[in-house]
Structures are given as C-alpha cells and as structure tokens.
Amino acid sequence: MNGWAQRGMGETSFHARVRTRLAALASFAVCVFGFVGTTHGAGQYLNVDYPASTAADGLQVPVTYTLWIPDGATRLRGIIVHQHGAGTTASIEGSTAAYDLHWQALARKWDCALLGPSYHVSNEKIDLSPGGSELWFDPRHGSEKTFLKAIGDLAAKSGHPEIETVPWALWGHSGGGIWANVMSIHHPDRVAAIWMRSGSAIMFRTKPEFPQPEVPAGVYAIPSMCNPGVKEKPNIPWTGTLATFQEYRDKGAPIGFAPDPRTGHECGDCRYLAIPFFDACLAMRLPDKGSKDQTLKPVDMSQAWLAPLLGDQAVPAASYQGNSNKAVWLPNEAVAKAWMEYVKTGAVGDTTPPPAPHDVKVTAQGDQGTQIEWSADADFESGIRCFLVLRDGQELAQVPQTPVGKFGRPLFQSMTYHDTPAQPMPKMHYVDTSTKPGEKHTYTVVTVNSMGIRSEPAPTRIEPRGDVVLWYRQPGVEWLEAMPIGNGIMGAMVFGGVQRERIALNESSFWSGRPHDYDDPDAGTYFPLIRDLVFAENFQEAEKMADAHFYGIPAAQQAYQPLGDLRLSFEGAEGAEDYRRELDMETGVAKVCYRAGDVVFTREVFLSYPDRVMVVRITADKPGRVGVQAQFKSPHLDRATATPGRLVMEGCWKGPMRPENWLIATVEGKGIRFQAGMTTIRPSPARPVWAAFWMT
C-alpha cells in the first residue's frame, strides 16, 4: 500500500490471432486436448482465476490465487497465506508469492501449502471507487467469500480435500495486513498465527465506509506480530499497528511489536524474523500430524519471553519486571534472540550452512556447450544468495552473476518492495559455452546463503544426451523433414520454421468415413470349405474364398486422417541467425532456437501421455519481445467461431477418397465429426501465457 508511505489449407478455413506482450520474460504455451497442472521442481503449482463480480456483495475486482504444494505431503496440515498490499504494483509483484523458495522452506517443514493471492486492481486508490483496493482488503466486500471459494476449488483441483478445513497462517503487508487482521477476526478458530507488516484494521478506524469489526475473544488467543518500519512515523501504518498491539496486549493477547529500524513502508528483511516466528507458532498450534481433529492447540505461554515496548532486550516471561500486559510478547527463546537482533539491525544473522543442491544434471549440447541444471531448497534461516558452479573442482561461474538486493539482502530471487520474488523468475541452470565436443569435465554446484555461507558440493548426474539428440541447422520443409512427437494417442509434426511455424496435428480416433460394424454373419459357414481347400493344397482357391468372405463388409477399410495444422507466426524474427532445431529422443521434446538481433528466442514442444496435452512454450531472453499470431487450418472445417480468448472450429471428415485405391471404402453417410479449439488464459506475470487446444 504505497499510498501510505512517504516517497494452409485454405485461408477461409479458420483464422484467429493471439498476441501477447509481457513485461517480464515472455513465454507462450499451447495445451492440446486438455489442460495440464503445472509442476516445478519439488512441488506442484495450481491456480484459479475469478473475474470481477457484478453482484452487490461480490468481489468487484478480478483475482488469481496461486497455490504451491510441497512434494511428499500426503496430507496437508495448513495453508500459509502471503497477501500483498494495495495498488497495481503490489498486485503484479505480489503475484509471485507462491514461488518464493524461502517461504516454501517454511511450508515444506510443516506440510503446509503456500498461497499467493493477486487482486488485479486497476488504479492506486485505497478506497471503494471502481478498481480501488479497499474493494478487496476489506474482506466484507467479497474477498472473504471468494477466498473461501478458492480454497474449496483448489482442494478439488489438487486432490487434497483437507485444504478446505486446515488452519491458516496469515502474512499481510499494508492492505494485506488489514485483510489478514479482519480475516482473523472473522475466523479466529482457523488462524494459527498472523503477521501484520505495516497494516491492521485500526488504520481505517476513521473511515466511515470501514466500520470496525467487533473483535471476538478468540482473536486474543492468536499469536500475532505487528511489524511497521520506523521511518513510517507518524503515518498510520505505524500508529495503526502500534494501537493494534496495545489494544490486543491489554486483553492478554500473545502479540509482539517488531519495529524495523532500516525501513519505511517497504518490507525490507522482515522475512528473517517472520519465518522463525511462524515456525514457533506452527510448532505450538498445529493439530497433530494425521489427526482428523483440526482444532488448533493453545499457545504455550510457559516458553514466552517479554520485552518492553520499543526496547531491544527480552527476558523469559517469569523474569520480566514490568507490566506484562504492556510488554512485547515473543513465543520462545529462539524468536526472542532473533527479535533482539532485528529491532537493532533490521535483519537476523545465521551461522549455519545451507543444504546442498540436488538433482544436478549435466548435459552435453554438442557445439552449444554443456548445460548444468539443478534443484535446491532454500536455507531455512537465511534463504539463497546465489549458486556457485564448479568445473573440475574450480569455481567456474556464479548464478546470478550479481545478486540484487534493492530492498534487503542480495538474493538469488531478488526481493521486491512487497517481500516477493522479482520478475523475471531466475532459473537454476548454467551453460558452459567454453567446452568443446568430446571434452570430459566434472561439474558440481554449491549453494551460498544470504550470509555468504557455502553448502557442501552437490552430487552430479551425467546425462548422455549427445548420442540421443537429432539436430539440424535449418527448418523442415517436407513432411519427412519435420520432427515427430507423440504420446500414443496424439501425434504432431513440428517443422521448426522461424517466422512461421507449422505443427501438423493428428488424433488416433479421427478417420475417414464413420464407425460401423464390419462383421459378415455368413463368414463362419465358409471356414470348413477354406480348410478343406488348404488340406487339398488348393491354396489359390482357398485364398480367393478367404478374400471374398473374411475381410468383412465392406472389405475395404477407411483411412486415418490429418486433423489439421496449428500455424504460428512470429514478429521480430527477421534476419534470424544461429538457428538450431533438435529432437531429444529421451524426453520427446522438440526444440527450436535462434537469435534475431539482440534477442534469443527458444521454442519447445512436447506431448504428455499422462495429461493428454501438447504444450508449446516460447520464450525470449528479453522482456516484451514475443509477438505471435496463432491460426488453425483444416480441410475438414464446417464452422468456425472466435470470441475473446477463445477460438473454436467444428467439422467432419469430407471425402471422397481416390476411387482407384481398392483398400479404402467409399463414403457411407456422414463422417466422424470433431470439435477443436484454443483458449487463452490471462496469466499472472510470473507464469507463462497458456492456451488450450482440445478435440472432441
């Protein structure tokens, strides 16, 4: 809430255009015959989108909820909600919350999901005017109802029905702090802990359109932390969170106050205190693992430490000499020590090494060098600053080369104003272009946390891709020059054009003619006659009789048919150089890469058997440089429709086949019908642009 801070088959067949420009690393994907859940590394990502409601009591701004579920969590124990603040920038930058490796480390430890809502407001206003942020950060205007619907839909979509009933840990910045505060008032039995960074409901106490909710007694059992920036004085993010602390503490609530000495309204390095705070609270309050009873446990006050308000020294609660109902509450000794450091420096130190990376893969890419890819879990205490790539035991590269820390410590995922990863999202990979084909090297990767402490080197797995990749220096022209991909049900031929890509599509059930019964009811009567002819060694007559009566009715068969083409046309591809296309025989991924001017474009296509989809992903290494037109063409089209974000074509097989081919039957009535289409989905800026192509 920055406003409170100081500071072809015939052109008539079917034609439609899909144009996308992204402010971050651009990418485009096409899913064929259905949708596929998105999975990355050690977890699964899901999202649900809801348009703005026209109902008076509905949420009047669109919203996207992105959920991350850690791998290996058979039953989730909670949801950690990371809620951004008000304004368009907060909405965009807050959309990456579920991708945050450090917050994922907390969620993974407690078998929790990580949820990042993104409310797509249209302006910077913090009121109830059209497009304003108060429309969502006051849950009573529809965001509470939509949030509950989202967790229900995500429960069904993820296969984790427990999502609808597990507890929440709420983190909110500014307007997100207001939202979290009001949600805890409405659902005190559901909230395990709450962190209010520069925001609480009391901030809007003077606003007539924001009546203060009545606080039930259950709220005073929720462990909470108010965390404004010292430089916000005397603005309402400071005075509001301070008043919240004082009023709640007077009621005996377990609530702390942690002023950040380095910041104003920006979040700074508050995560280094927020994560251990939530860790302590979840340890105390989550129901036992596997328990059907989701009642939260009470806070264990016996471990508490206390500190004077605006002081920097804490002691065990039993040793505190002042008025405990005026003192800062801290859940245990570990959090108290972190708090004492944070209120002095604005951060928390760490002396332990991070976990080593894992799943390191080294892949020879011929004259393109050697690619090193890996996965890594964030250091629980201090996250990830960077990775070191070692070749033959010597440091080769640092990824990223220069970590960015505009609002806090420099990190691999550099932090925004809103405590979320900046875009574009970095990848855990490096290409050693200095190697030559045939050279043998040993690679490994080391994690460096935000305190500069290194992990042990990771073990490496060599991927012998050099012998299983077909690669070419020019696009395919003829059918047999295209790259075939398939999954046993669907097939495609990827030609790899630069300015114009052709992907020829097939589906196993699409044939000429129509399904019918080929059985000849009299065929069985000829079997003894054919057998007698064979025993008499009259083979020619036996063959003629079998041909006449054992092929079915009719004897001729129908033919497998092409569905049509997906045609993609690209802007900015003129004068392409360094062209390469390849088909990986192990993964089944067809890839096209070329450079146009100062931009490197990469296109990847694969067909998934489990998900029954084809995915095309197109990226540019510079933001906003992907311009693409999509077009369907088919010789079997009857009708085509185009609506915003949705393209549909319908048709059936159209004959006739060549009469001289006796193996192919003549047309009998109507042929097989089909419907195919492509739907584009508005992305979060942190995700690829998706479109779906299906057939029925």
Give the CATH number for residue 371.
2.60.40.10
Structure tokens at 22: 């992204």
447 and 504 together in one domain: no
Prediction pTM value: 0.67
433 and 536 together in one domain: no
Cβ pair 415, 99 in contact under 8 A: no
| Closest C-alpha among 140, 322, 130, 304 to residue 223 | 304
Flag whether 349 is in a domain. no
Confidence of residue 688 (pLDDT cuts 50, 70, 90): very low
Domain hosting 457: range is: 358-465
Provide mean pLDDT across the span 482-496. 91
Q: Would you say residue 293 has pLDDT above 50? A: yes
126 and 246 together in one domain: yes
61 and 156 together in one domain: yes
388-406 tens-digit pLDDT: 999 999 999 999 999 999 9
Displacement of CA 236 from its chain's centroid (Å): 35
Flag whether 534 is in a domain. yes
Confidence of residue 90 (pLDDT cuts 50, 70, 90): very high
Flag whether 436 is in a domain. yes
Task: Choose the weakest-confidence range: 179-193, 544-558, 625-639.
Answer: 544-558
580 and 599 together in one domain: yes
Residue 664: the pLDDT is: 44
Strand order in the sheet with 628-633: 483-486, 490-494, 500-507, 564-570, 628-633
Domain end point (choices 286, 319, 347): 286
Flag whether 309 is in a domain. no
Flag whether 377 is in a domain. yes
Structure tokens at 106: 């907390």
Question: How many structural domains does the chain have?
Answer: 4
544 and 582 together in one domain: no
533 and 625 together in one domain: no
Who has greater pLDDT, 447 or 672? 447
Provide mean pLDDT across the span 522-542. 89
Flag whether 581 is in a domain. yes
Residue 655: the pLDDT is: 65
Give the CATH number for residue 75.
3.40.50.1820
* Percent of all residues in the chain with a pLDDT value above 70, rounded to a whole number: 86
238 and 185 together in one domain: yes
Q: Would you say residue 29 has pLDDT above 60? A: no
366 and 482 together in one domain: no
Q: What are the CA-CA distances from residue 93 to residues 116, 272, 273, 639 (Å)?
A: 11, 20, 21, 42
Residue 680: the pLDDT is: 60
Bridge partners of residue 404, in order along the sequence: 411
Domain end point (choices 245, 271, 286): 286
Q: Could you give the count of Cα atoms lying within 13 Å of 454 in the half-sphere of its Cβ?
A: 11
Query: Please, what is the average pLDDT of the chain?
Result: 86
Flag whether 235 is in a domain. yes
Domain end point (choices 286, 321, 336): 286
Q: Would you say residue 213 has pLDDT above 70? A: yes
> End-to-end CA distance of the chain, in Å?
47
Residue 22: the pLDDT is: 26
183 and 54 together in one domain: yes
Q: Would you say residue 660 has pLDDT above 50? A: no
Residue 562: the pLDDT is: 82
Give the CATH number for residue 682.
2.70.98.50
99 and 184 together in one domain: yes
Residue 469: the pLDDT is: 85
622 and 658 together in one domain: yes
